[in-house]
Structure 1
Amino acid sequence: MGLKRRAALALMLGAALGLGACGKPAGQGGSSGSGVQLGGPFQLTDQTGKPVDQGLLKGKWTAVFFGYTYCPDVCPTTLQTLGSASDLLGARAKNFQVVFITVDPQRDTPSQLKDYLSSSSFPRGVIGLTGTPDQIAKVAGEYKVYFQKSGSGANYSVDHSSAIYLMNPHGDFDSVIAFGLKPEDIRDQIAKAMGKQG
């Protein structure tokens, strides 16, 4: 598939799954009932500087969210909501993790991610991932995530898709968690998915 066609597909799916300008409210996302496959292999670096790949998605239910640490509203709000949803899962939370993948690798170094994700209002044990611009573009393409730098200078922002991707313990895509849901609704969606797989 050519680069222009991939970019058009990413824009189309981004519109369907909700975009966040990290400064503007994002639209609602929806479940992928179209048979679209999301996710795939990646090589990234976590907030401790350790190289990781898609294998970290195996063994637990995972909420994958793309954003960046300089985001003023959508990203911290989403992470706080995921933290609350995880708490509401109770004992089932031991089988759930959150992975935050930056769309701003220029500023989001491992140490920047580590500092940012240490907030007590974010999910316990959240894994932050960064990489080279090419690595981030590749993983964003695997998840059909739209992102685009906006503005210039040190204070630029990054427009990006705001949906959360729920992956099953095999590392396969299960469903989209729409932006703007309450923690209770997210908890219910995750618990229902967990129940489907026994």
Structure 2
Amino acid sequence: MRSQALAAGLLCLLGALGPARGEPPPRRSAAALMDVLMWNREPVGGPFALSDQAGRPRTEADFRGRLLLVYFGYTACPDVCPTDLMEIGRALTLLGPDADAVQPVFITLDPEHDTAGLLAEYLPNFHPRLVGLTGSEAAVRRAADAYKVYYESSPRPGGGRAVEHSAFTYLMDRSGAYLGFFPPGTAAERMVTILRPHLTARPAAE
């Protein structure tokens, strides 16, 4: 992993400000989260409780037994998200039958707008097996924090919200443990090269 790839995945760097007395500490800046990922300073991934595009409750335990490609974004993202989702979909197509062992997951960072119905319309444009997850603002924030995702949203002048966010595709093993990430713009062919050894590796005994 190269530092420039990490830097490319962070769309905004914010300085950390000290909290006032009695207030919770501010959220970590994009630079601080980049440092965590670069040096593996903390665990990445963990429990979440969200719902999918069919309205069904989902937790991380539902995806055990498959490799996971986890991507955080939002449906109104103008360029980065659709580009990366397209490459994830292409990677699954290139894998052929082996793609059955890989589950792509899209977690929205704009749950107020990205309802289950909207995810159900949006995600098949990239791959029919993409699972979209949404939930309350608090539940989405917990999932994003677990994966060390930076994001901040703000209203657009013409309506809706813009979300500044890091754009990594996280690779998790069959037990939900973190294996690494693909930086934004990673080509499908590169993903397949990294995925294939994990597909042939024997799962650890439980």
The 2-side partners of 1:123 and 1:100 are apart by 11
Runs of at least 5 residues in structure 2 that lack an aligned partner in the other structure: 1-22
Q: CA deviation at 1:118?
A: 2.2
Aligned: 1:73 with 2:79: yes
* Structure 2 CA distance for partners of 1:157 and 1:174, relative to 1, 3 Å: same
Aligned: 1:108 with 2:128: no
How many residues matched?
180
Higher alpha-carbon Rg: 2
Ranked by relative contact order (alpha carbons within 8 Å, sequence separation 6 or more), the top structure is 1
**Contact 2:167-2:184 within 8 A present in 1 as well:** yes
2:94 corresponds in structure 1 to 88
Alignment partner for residue 53 of structure 1, among 59, 63, 69?
59
The 1-side partners of 2:116 and 2:109 are apart by 13
The 1-side partners of 2:127 and 2:50 are apart by 20
Moved more, 92-101 or 142-151: 142-151
Aligned: 1:12 with 2:16: no
TM-score for the superposition, normalised by structure 2: 0.80
1:137 corresponds in structure 2 to 141
Aligned: 1:193 with 2:204: no
**Contact 2:46-2:147 within 8 A present in 1 as well:** yes
Deviations 1:45-90 (A, max 9, x none): 1000011111123111010000001111111111110011111112
TM-score for the superposition, normalised by structure 1: 0.83
**Contact 2:68-2:173 within 8 A present in 1 as well:** yes
3-state SS, counterpart of residue 90 of structure 2: helix
Q: CA deviation at 1:177?
A: 1.3
**Contact 1:147-1:161 within 8 A present in 2 as well:** yes
**Contact 2:52-2:134 within 8 A present in 1 as well:** yes
3-state SS, counterpart of residue 145 of structure 1: coil
Aligned: 1:161 with 2:166: yes
* Structure 2 CA distance for partners of 1:191 and 1:57, relative to 1, 3 Å: same
